[in-house]
Structure 1
Amino acid sequence: MDEPSCSNSPVDLPEIIPQLKVYAERPKDCFVCGGSASGYHYDVPACNGCKTFFRRYVISKRLFTCKLNDDCFDLSTRDVPVKCRACRINKCFAVGMNPHALEVDKTNTDCLKEVTKRKNMIGNDAVNEKQLVLNSLESMENKIQKIADMLTYLELKLDQFRASSYNPHWAEVRGLEFVLNSTNRISLADKFGPMPGWPLLDNNLSPSRPPPLSHEKLVIGGPPPYSPKKKHWLYFNMLATIEYAKTFMFFHELLPRDQLILIRYTTLACVNLLVSFSSVSKKYDTAVHPDGTLQMHRNQEYYSSNVMSIIPLIRYQVQQIEYVLLKAICLCNPAVPDLSKHAQLLLAEERQKYSEALLDHCIRNIGNGPSRFTDLIGIIDVLERQQRMQKDLHLLYIAPLVAKTPKDNIVQIIEDVMDS
């Protein structure tokens, strides 16, 4: 099967994140005082002290006057700046500290009034070229935290859904369009509760436990026999991933045709990432399902394709917050073939939001943040290659058998995803 190439090269960041500002490395020196910089603050490498001083100046009522020669922070004439607040704020503006980037909580009305007043004062002062424009948006850190909290909560509900006793027969779920047009099922986990008896004691991982029958054996004459206590994991994980996508607000702004195209293309990659991270977080180096069963296959090609995405997760020791952001980035793929222009623009905007959150997390928490970000984005390329391999194997081994299978015995969701 010829599949359109849609790989996300880890070195081609502009295509992945349009117009995203990426700093080459963590800054060393504060541009204001010459001390050790803690990062980029208000668009300038600065220490925490100068960052805090600039913020307090902008929202305060005070104006400062130099008692010397207005050169107290001229580091070309002295090694250590003189403690002069007037020269310090002038130096802040001179090196490019951006008052547009001031982080103000819009719920703090007193702070808003002071900043607005300060805007007028600055406009009449010697720094009128640096007119302050109030940024009433929440700080980047708070926005990142809200995005991470939302995605982490969604992942928790998804885990509950996968482990719940809700287990509809695949004949009840009549393909992708049926699922997309029906109400979201994730909340059914609360109604049905957890599946009793999981993890299955007789299926504990051990060398003596034989692997399950291979997929191509199971589809002869139809899928494995349905049991309300045992889930068909490829089918159910695909169902869970589609319901996951339906929880995003942007998804409902897509046209029905674009929803179908996006889901057909991204579902398998998201399923692989879900299963891989769930397994790695439980200290396994192979795919393990919520019921405790091991995802094995007698065909080496199938087995290799199933564990491809586990290797980079282990290598980079991917954290929970990185995983949830990476999965959102994987879902929001504007490069999927045949999407409308509206869908491409909407998905590019959403992907940039989650990509910026991931980059900010890496810069704030990892020593070599941009390098870490590039490594994580590279996992998407692995997921792309993994799903292409799985779809090719399905076409080679499974599709001919499905063609001979009675229609009522076909798991339609799997066929809709694999045949794309």
Structure 2
Amino acid sequence: MAHVAKCQACRFDRCVLMGMDPLVLLQFRSMDTEKIMLEFAERKFNLMRNCIVSEEILKEKKLQDLLYVESNAKIIRNSSECPEAVLAGLSIKDLIKTQNNELSNARKYMDITNFLLKNEIKSGFKGQMTGMFYFTKIGIFLSIELAKTFPIFKQLSYNTQESLVRHVSLINSYLTDTYYSYELKSDKVMFASKWCTKLNPEKIPKEMAKCSTESALMNPIWKVELTKEEFVLIKALIYSNSAIGDIELCDKKLLQKESEHYSKILLQHLQLKMGIMPGAKRFAEILAYMNTLLKVSHQARETLVLINYILKFSNEQSPFFDSVLYI
């Protein structure tokens, strides 16, 4: 039995090194939380001091960090509570510069999932588009908050930060909406509480009749059949894309290095899971999907601009939205 206990201890130590949060484990009221946290911190310190953390462990920890941050974003996305910052008249600079990050407050959104807009979404083209714009604003806001969680983001100049956020936030918002729609086995783009646009073709303005990009967004993700790990790593690659936006030269090098790092994590993850050659093939498929996403997102952005122009929506409560929409 001694070797079994030793094996379990090794697995526990590996979890500690990977960044496990002991407070999420099953606890009893009689437990001394402070004492547990102190012992846990000491154990982690000794492990880090006495062993060499392999590159494989560090890469796996990065992937787990991405999954954790995304889980927080998903909680807020699926909540019926609109983050105050979305409608607080904040500019994109305000959102980037603030030290607060709404993703750290995800727990307060957990029990608010009974979706109902304060102003009920009305039928008809304008009513449905109002709903879509509302959810798109939340998606862009969460994309900006996600960008701020990357350590590399803090190393970039403000000009690069703003340019990057303006160019990639809508792309990652579309990626998020299509992935969670795919997860729900839907061929339509679905937002919080499975809400999606329901349009009568006869009510759509002539200028918009041929501008729908929904199938162009959904078809590729159904073909590639993304996993959750692939999804969050694609996001990381988009956030570290040095070819998007007006990036300063010194920042380009930082982003290129970061992009290479996440590419290696993705490739290693796939090859460990599938084997060397199948993993490399899958890696190429994912990169091809990402290129398709970038192209379709550009078309979808143009469609949003056209809708905004036709319906003359006011975005005074969300100035950051216009900064992302018009680039």
What is the TM-score normalised by the length of structure 1? 0.57
Q: Which residue of 1 aligns with 2:103?
A: 186
Following superposition, the deviation at residue 172 of structure 1 comes to 0.6
Give the counterpart letter for 1:163 in structure 2.
Answer: N
- Deviation track 1:59-110 (CA, whole Å, cap 9, x = no partner) reads xxxxxxxxxxxxxxxxxxxxxxxxxxxxxxxxxxxxxxxxxxxxxx97545x
- Deviation track 1:32-62 (CA, whole Å, cap 9, x = no partner) reads xxxxxxxxxxxxxxxxxxxxxxxxxxxxxxx
For 1:406 and 1:197, how far apart are their aligned partners in 2?
27
For 1:337 and 1:184, how far apart are their aligned partners in 2?
23
Alpha carbons of structure 1 residues 334 and 398: separation in structure 2 relative to 1, 3 Å: same
For 1:411 and 1:302, how far apart are their aligned partners in 2?
25
Q: Which residue of 2 aligns with 1:327?
A: 235
Retained in 1: the 8 A contact 2:181–2:189?
A: yes
Match of 1:393 among 276, 295, 303: 303
For 2:288 and 2:280, how far apart are their aligned partners in 1?
12
Following superposition, the deviation at residue 419 of structure 1 comes to 0.4
Alpha carbons of structure 1 residues 219 and 369: separation in structure 2 relative to 1, 3 Å: closer
Q: Which residue of 2 aligns with 1:376?
A: 286
Match of 1:310 among 185, 204, 218: 218
For 1:289 and 1:396, how far apart are their aligned partners in 2?
21
Following superposition, the deviation at residue 282 of structure 1 comes to 1.5
For 2:48 and 2:138, how far apart are their aligned partners in 1?
43
Give the counterpart letter for 2:258 in structure 1.
Answer: E
Match of 2:59 among 144, 157, 180: 144
Q: Which residue of 2 aligns with 1:364?
A: 272
Alignment coverage as a number of residue pairs: 268
Q: Which residue of 2 aligns with 1:22?
A: none
Q: Which moved more, 1:307-316 or 1:393-402?
A: 393-402
Retained in 2: the 8 A contact 1:289–1:295?
A: no
Following superposition, the deviation at residue 316 of structure 1 comes to 1.9
Gaps of 5+ in 2: 1-46
1:162 and 2:162 matched: no
- Deviation track 1:102-133 (CA, whole Å, cap 9, x = no partner) reads xxx97545xxxxxxxxxxxxxxxxxxxxxxxx
Alpha carbons of structure 1 residues 338 and 160: separation in structure 2 relative to 1, 3 Å: same
Following superposition, the deviation at residue 307 of structure 1 comes to 3.8
Following superposition, the deviation at residue 371 of structure 1 comes to 1.4
Give the counterpart letter for 1:376 in structure 2.
Answer: I
Following superposition, the deviation at residue 177 of structure 1 comes to 1.3
Match of 1:291 among 185, 193, 197: 193
Alpha carbons of structure 1 residues 341 and 418: separation in structure 2 relative to 1, 3 Å: same
Alpha carbons of structure 1 residues 395 and 343: separation in structure 2 relative to 1, 3 Å: same
1:341 and 2:257 matched: no
Give the counterpart letter for 1:267 in structure 2.
Answer: S
For 1:152 and 1:231, how far apart are their aligned partners in 2?
26
Following superposition, the deviation at residue 334 of structure 1 comes to 0.5
Following superposition, the deviation at residue 278 of structure 1 comes to 0.8
Retained in 2: the 8 A contact 1:270–1:327?
A: yes
For 2:116 and 2:305, how far apart are their aligned partners in 1?
33
For 1:256 and 1:310, how far apart are their aligned partners in 2?
34
Retained in 1: the 8 A contact 2:315–2:322?
A: no
Q: For residues 11-410 of structure 1, what are the structure 2 equivalents within 5 Å?
A: 107-108=49-50, 136=52, 138-140=54-56, 142-164=57-79, 165-168=81-84, 170-182=86-98, 183-198=100-115, 212-214=123-125, 217-218=126-127, 232-296=134-198, 298=204, 299-303=208-212, 305-367=213-275, 368-399=278-309, 401-402=311-312, 408=316
1:412 and 2:319 matched: yes
Give the counterpart letter for 1:239 in structure 2.
Answer: F
For 1:219 and 1:341, how far apart are their aligned partners in 2?
42
Retained in 2: the 8 A contact 1:163–1:194?
A: no
For 1:407 and 1:157, how far apart are their aligned partners in 2?
26
For 2:123 and 2:106, how far apart are their aligned partners in 1?
27
For 1:150 and 1:325, how far apart are their aligned partners in 2?
11
Retained in 2: the 8 A contact 1:286–1:310?
A: yes
Larger radius of gyration: 1
Retained in 2: the 8 A contact 1:219–1:398?
A: no
Partner of 2:187, secondary structure, is coil
Alpha carbons of structure 1 residues 189 and 238: separation in structure 2 relative to 1, 3 Å: same
Alpha carbons of structure 1 residues 231 and 382: separation in structure 2 relative to 1, 3 Å: closer
Q: What percent of counterpart residues are identical?
A: 20
Alpha carbons of structure 1 residues 166 and 375: separation in structure 2 relative to 1, 3 Å: same
Give the counterpart letter for 1:258 in structure 2.
Answer: T
Following superposition, the deviation at residue 301 of structure 1 comes to 4.0
Following superposition, the deviation at residue 327 of structure 1 comes to 1.0
Structure with a larger share of its residues in helix = 2
Retained in 2: the 8 A contact 1:309–1:379?
A: no
For 2:257 and 2:185, how far apart are their aligned partners in 1?
35
Retained in 1: the 8 A contact 2:171–2:293?
A: yes
Q: Which moved more, 1:149-158 or 1:335-344?
A: 335-344
For 2:105 and 2:82, how far apart are their aligned partners in 1?
7
Partner of 1:174, secondary structure, is coil
For 2:286 and 2:279, how far apart are their aligned partners in 1?
11
- Deviation track 1:297-356 (CA, whole Å, cap 9, x = no partner) reads 5545443x2342322222122111111111110111101232101211111111111111
For 1:245 and 1:320, how far apart are their aligned partners in 2?
18
Give the counterpart letter for 2:94 in structure 1.
Answer: F
Alpha carbons of structure 1 residues 292 and 397: separation in structure 2 relative to 1, 3 Å: closer
